Amino acid sequence: MNQGIKLELRAREELFINLEPLQRGGVVPAESRKVALSYIDGYSTCDYCLGTLHILKKPPICDFLTEVADFLGMDNAIITHGCREAKFAIMHAITKPGQAMVMDENRHYTSYVAAERAGLKTYEVPSTGYPEFKVNPEEYVSAIEKARKENGELPALVLLTHVDWTYGNLVDAERVGKICQEYGVPFLLNTAYSSGRMPINGKQLLADFITCSGHKSWAAGAGVVGILALRDEWKDKVFKPSQRYKVKPIEILGCSARGTSALVLMSSFPYVKERVKHWDEELEKARWFSGQMESLGDIRQLGDKPHNHDLIRFETPVFNRIAQKHKRRGYFLYEELLKRSIVGIKVGKTKSFDLSTYGLTREQLGYVIDSFRDVINKLS
Amino acid sequence: MNQGIKLELRAREELFINLEPLQRGGVVPAESRKVALSYIDGYSTCDYCLGTLHILKKPPICDFLTEVADFLGMDNAIITHGCREAKFAIMHAITKPGQAMVMDENRHYTSYVAAERAGLKTYEVPSTGYPEFKVNPEEYVSAIEKARKENGELPALVLLTHVDWTYGNLVDAERVGKICQEYGVPFLLNTAYSSGRMPINGKQLLADFITCSGHKSWAAGAGVVGILALRDEWKDKVFKPSQRYKVKPIEILGCSARGTSALVLMSSFPYVKERVKHWDEELEKARWFSGQMESLGDIRQLGDKPHNHDLIRFETPVFNRIAQKHKRRGYFLYEELLKRSIVGIKVGKTKSFDLSTYGLTREQLGYVIDSFRDVINKLS
């Protein structure tokens, strides 16, 4: 029937050790899979509709969001389609096209694209560059000042990527929050790679807004789902209802992610609350893995050292040298790892690559180290 | 662990005859459920990322979207988070805040809220009111003229709800398309209740844009998912990429619905293509059901007559009279039906209610009629 379109079933977590940083925090626990199937039909969350999703009693989305706000140390939370949609909703609600916005150089591309969609002029806080690529909170002062000078007013919004997607660097958000507070500019903390993995407290970090990625870090796959949490003072502006439909927030067009996506986020939440308590173990494992990698020789970990996250980028001249003479060129590493049932390093990457150790056991990671060693011994 | 939050499994389609119009077109076939579970982990569609979702080869999203565009009689299609997000994306891409937009009075609330979010001034084409509530295409002329007069320019966009959510009325879209063509204004056809259920051809209907609801009418539940299809001439404007990230469309912030949501839409597509071929049978069944309901006495079908859709609204004085003297008041009908394993009529509705016959058998619908008759006989 499907005129040539072949759709293969996927069994990545079942068949492989998966190191893809995008995917490690979004592996869905068994209990949520049951919930996912039971809510799979369209508009399954609307059986007992009360006009909008975030106030629902059955399933208890409203109670869940109260707990989520508390978990994040914020006053209110709603479900969004994703972290990027949460960022855009905030920008669209509190800024005007043509205004300035400050963000860090390590930001996710969606922070830039959301600002572009909102018509904002962006100012970037540079990183320190190779090899650590750190974002120094103090640099926010210069960027804010530059934006003020060029636009005749303070930036309308400041964004910090709590943990970035390239180096897995953790920035001192509280220090950036303090600077924003001193200037009186709103502070958006993008926690796509932090909340749901590590404990965070938005108010302690002086954030006005927290955005989260369900499928990246809250064990909530299925569709795409995110969270927008904020302090009470921003509620009226960001959750502003339609003039004609008083229960429908404009910035999420009434209701956003619902059905399985929302329910998986909700059913994985107890599991997520528990796992963030063990962040120190994850961190220890990540650091141990990084050390093991470097001990293989001619491999250097980039970013924060010691590292503060499970997303780790390595510079790997050892593999690049092999690629130069290998008949499969840059593909060799991907293929050698695949033979060993390891996936998640992007195809063609040999100069440097990122991976994540999140949720993998020491045994699995030991096997990964042994495999890299094997490849080096075999092909160097 | 879940501090008091109870999450019940849902088995609505398994245990009941479900008449809820929101849900009948979004029931997910068995084959898609298998796909849903296999793609449930976060970022499952990104194993072979090419920079953005709609160009993916594996899973073959790109080929799928080519087929979808063809199926809708349009040139291009992308996946969006939902139909409302598709409508907003179009408005945001091709209009400016303060401009005028024309839409029908029967439009979904999200058409209004999306226009509000885009800062547009809306002009409504009135329906004929009770009992048919028809939208007369010719009335678009007056609304367009009024918008032109009051704003000194033509409206930036015209929207028609192909089949509305309140009465299930089908409007002659081609006639509205013709009027838009004559005025030279872009025409957005919202097919949330038509495409995926009945055959439609966007170009034949002279539409510039078609928006679709996966979870409402394409047997694609899971998360929330929609489609935005358009004619080539609008591609550069609506699918415009970021200036800095040339592969990322701004209006969907790079990628929108992915993972299970996108894959269920895709895996249900062969089933949907097949079912639209049997729309005449669905229509015949809906009309038969409507006649049966009216024959119960003191029940009147509102909207188009003969009816052209499975979403049907009835005015039901017979049930309202019972509610006046029943100890459970307006709740009695919901409760009597629930006892008979029938759900989907909203709680408390007795003066009038809507339901859908879509995908139910004549036997099931006969049982529904018998149940309504039972309730009347027992309580009148």
B35: which chain A residues are within 8 Å (Cβ-Cβ)? 7, 9
Band (pLDDT 50/70/90 cuts) for residue A150 is: very high
Q: Is the peptide bond before A59 cis (omega within 30 degrees of 0)?
A: yes
Cβ-defined contact of A244 to B116 (cutoff 8 Å): yes
A244 close contact with B: CB closer than 8 A: yes
Per residue in B72-101, pLDDT (tens digit) is 999 999 999 999 999 999 999 999 999 999
pLDDT of residue B221: 82
Tokens of B155: 């409206």
User: Which chain B residues touch A259 with a CB distance below 8 Å?
Assistant: 215, 221-224
Selecting from A9, A117, A260 the residue whose C-beta is nearest the C-beta of B223 gives: A260
Coil, helix or strand for B101?
Answer: strand
User: What is the per-residue DSSP string for A194-223?
Assistant: TBTTB---TTTTT-SEEEEEHHHHSS--SS
Strands (E), chain B: 17-18, 76-80, 100-104, 121-125, 157-161, 187-190, 209-213, 226-230, 300-301, 311-315, 342-343, 352-356
A285's CB contacts (< 8 A; 6+ apart) are A310, A357, A360, A362, A365
CB-CB under 8 Å, A4 with B216: no
Instruction: Flag if B36 and A36 touch (Cβ within 8 Å).
Output: yes
Query: Chain A: nearest CA to B182, how far in angstroms?
Result: 31
Which residues in chain A are closer than 8 Å to B117, comparing Cβ atoms? Answer: 92, 250-251, 253
Residue of A nearest to B222 (CA): A40
pLDDT, tens only, A264-295? 999 999 999 999 999 999 999 999 999 999 99
Share of chain B above pLDDT 70, in %: 99
Q: In the numeric block, which tokens belong to residue B212?
A: 């679709």
Q: Which of B22, B23, B3 is nearest to B12 (CA)?
A: B23
Contacts of A88 in chain B (CB under 8 A): 253
If you measure CA to CA, which chain A residue comes closest to B36?
A222
Please state whether beta strands B226-230 and B76-80 pair in parallel, antiparallel, or not at all (unpaired). antiparallel
Distance CA B363, CA A348 (A): 58
In Å, how far is B49's CA from the nearest CA of chain A?
A: 9
Residue-wise pLDDT tens digits, A112-126: 999 999 999 999 999
pLDDT-wise least confident of A5-14, B108-117, B191-200: A5-14
Which pLDDT value is given to residue B129? 98
Chain A and chain B share a number of CB contacts under 8 A equal to 271
- Flag if B5 and A63 touch (Cβ within 8 Å): yes
DSSP-assigned letter for residue B329: G
pLDDT mean over B192-198: 98
Which of A12, A43, A250 comes nearest B215 by C-beta? A43
Cis peptide before A306 (omega within 30 of 0): yes
- Taking only residues 202 to 241 of chain A, the set having a beta carbon closer than 8 angstroms to any beta carbon of chain B reads 214-216, 219-225
Please determine, for residue A327, whether its predicted confidence score (pLDDT) is greater than 70.
yes
Q: Is A14 on the interface with B (CB under 8 A)?
A: no
In contact, B37 and B197? CB cutoff 8 Å: no
User: Cα distance from A182 to chain B (closest Cα, Å)?
Assistant: 31
Q: How confident is the model at residue B5 (pLDDT cuts 50, 70, 90)?
A: confident
Using CA atoms, how far residue A6 sits from A100, A259, B45, B64, B307, in Å, is 46, 26, 14, 10, 38
A110 lies within 8 A of chain B by CB: yes
Per-residue model confidence (pLDDT) at position A2:
46
- Percent of chain A whose predicted confidence (pLDDT) is above 90: 96
Residues from chain B contacting residue A267 (CB–CB below 8 Å): 7
Which helix (H) or strand (E) segment is A125 a member of?
strand A121-125
Which CA distances in Å does A4 have to A7, A297, B71, B229?
Answer: 10, 47, 15, 21
The pLDDT assigned to A276 comes to: 98
B338-367 residues touching A, CB cutoff 8 A = 343
Choice between A120 and B222, residue whose per-residue pLDDT is larger? A120
Tell me whether residues B109 and A245 touch, CB distance under 8 A: yes
Rg, Å, chain B Cα set? 22
pLDDT at B222 over 90: no
Predicted ipTM of the assembly = 0.96
pLDDT tens profile A176-200: 999 999 999 999 999 999 999 999 9
- According to DSSP, the β-strands at B311-315 and B352-356 are antiparallel
Amino acid B1: pLDDT: 41
C-beta of residue B153 within 8 angstroms of C-beta of residue B121: no
Cα A345 from Cα B281, distance rounded (Å): 51
Which of B225, B260, B274 best tests the A interface by mutation, with the highest count of A CBs <10 A?
B260
pTM equals: 0.97
- Please name the residue that has the structure tokens 């009529």: B345
Within its chain, how far is the Cα of A176 from the centroid?
19
Q: What is the pLDDT of residues B6-33, one digit of tens each?
A: 888 999 999 999 999 999 999 999 999 9
For chain B, the average pLDDT equals 96
| Angstrom distance (rounded) from CA A169 to CA A162 | 8
CA dist B95 and B151 (Å) reads: 14
Cβ B165 vs Cβ B193: under 8 Å: yes
What does the pLDDT average to over A311-318? 98
Whether B223 shows a pLDDT value over 90: the answer reads no
* Residues B57-75, mean pLDDT to the nearest whole number: 97
Pairing of strands B17-18, B100-104: unpaired
| B55/B78 Cα distance (integer angstroms) | 9
Residue B95: its pLDDT value, please? 98
B3 pLDDT higher than 70: no
Q: Does A134 touch chain B (CB under 8 A)?
A: no
Quick check: A209 and A234 in contact, CB under 8 A?
yes
pLDDT at B2 over 60: no
Q: Do B261 and A222 touch (CB under 8 A)?
A: yes
List of chain A residues whose C-beta atoms are within 8 Å of the C-beta of residue B110: 253-254
- Each residue of B283-337: pLDDT tens digit? 999 999 999 999 999 999 999 999 999 999 999 999 999 999 999 999 999 999 9
Measuring CA to CA, how many Å separate A71 from each of A17, A64, A234, A310, B253? 30, 10, 18, 21, 27
**Chain B neighbors of A110, CB-CB under 8 A:** 253-254
Chain A residues within an 8 Å CB radius of B243 = 116
Instruction: List, in sequence order, the alpha helices (H) in chain A.
Output: 12-15, 21-24, 30-38, 61-71, 83-94, 109-117, 139-151, 173-183, 214-217, 232-238, 259-276, 279-295, 317-325, 332-339, 362-379
What is the reported pLDDT for A1?
41
Cross-chain residue pair A220–B44, CB shorter than 8 Å: no
| Interface mutation target, options B3, B5, B33, B252, chain A, most CBs of A under 10 Å | B5
pLDDT more than 90, % of chain B: 96
Contact of B145 with A272, CB cutoff 8 Å: no
Nearest to A222 among B8, B117, B259 (CB): B259
Confidence of residue A221 (pLDDT cuts 50, 70, 90): confident
SS3 of residue A34 by DSSP: helix
pLDDT digits (tens, 9 = 90+) for A20-39: 999 999 999 999 999 999 99
Residue of A8, A10, A25 with shortest CB distance to B42: A25
DSSP state of A171: P
Residue in B closest to A22 by C-alpha? B43
| CB-based contact B259 A215, cutoff 8 Å | yes
pLDDT band at B4 (very low <50, low <70, confident <90, very high): low
A156 within 8 A of A120, measured Cβ to Cβ = yes
CB spacing of A36 vs B222 below 8 angstroms: yes
Q: Which run of H or of E encompasses B83?
A: helix B83-94
Q: Is A30 part of the contact surface with chain B (CB cutoff 8 Å)?
A: no
Question: What is the spatial distance between Cα B155 and Cα B103, in angstroms, rounded to a whole number?
Answer: 10
Render the burial of A160-185: b for 16+ CB within 10 Å, e for the rest: bbbbbbbbbbbbebebbbbbbeebeb
Residue ranges of E strands in B106-249: 121-125, 157-161, 187-190, 209-213, 226-230
**Domains observed in chain B:** 12-19+278-379 (3.90.1150.10), 30-274 (3.40.640.10)
Report CA-CA distances (Å) from A180 to A135, A202, B5.
Answer: 15, 14, 36
Helical packing angle, A139-151 and A173-183, nearest 10°: 30
Cβ–Cβ contact B334 with A under 8 A: no
What local confidence, expressed as pLDDT, does residue A4 receive? 61
